[in-house]
Amino acid sequence: MYGKLQGFKRHYNHCVVHHDSVSLFQWASEQRKNHTFRDCDGVCTKLTARQITLLDEIGFRWNVPNKREQRWFSMYNQLVDYKIVTGHCNLHNKKPNMKKLGCWVKKTKNFV
């Protein structure tokens, strides 16, 4: 699954996995849970130091993103996929299947 996470990172340029990728999302959640198990000296007991280092090196988020961050990353992922298919990020709200993404892009541009 680490390889899948690397592929996700290469594709989306972040490691915030969403419910869309069920098995990867579950695996990432398990890594976070395992990371919390510590012995009396504060040493992680369920993940090796090497596993933690590998996840840290690719930017794995040990804390769970809040709902707002999850939604933002989900929309961002859709935009990345759209750009891969079309070669641009110029969305037109008139297309029914792109209306939600188009509105998000417009709001995001206005926010920045």
Could you read off the pLDDT of 49-66 as tens digits, one per residue?
Answer: 899 999 999 999 888 778
**Contact by Cβ (8 Å): 14, 21:** no
Strand extents, DSSP E, 1-112: none
pLDDT score of 93 more than 70 = no
What pLDDT does 7 receive? 94
* Residues in Cβ contact with 90 at an 8 Å cutoff, skipping those fewer than 6 apart: none
pLDDT at position 112, please?
60
Q: Which two three-digit tokens encode residue 65?
A: 């993103």
Angstrom distance (rounded) from CA 25 to CA 79: 20
- From CA 74, how far away is CA 80, in angstroms rounded? 10
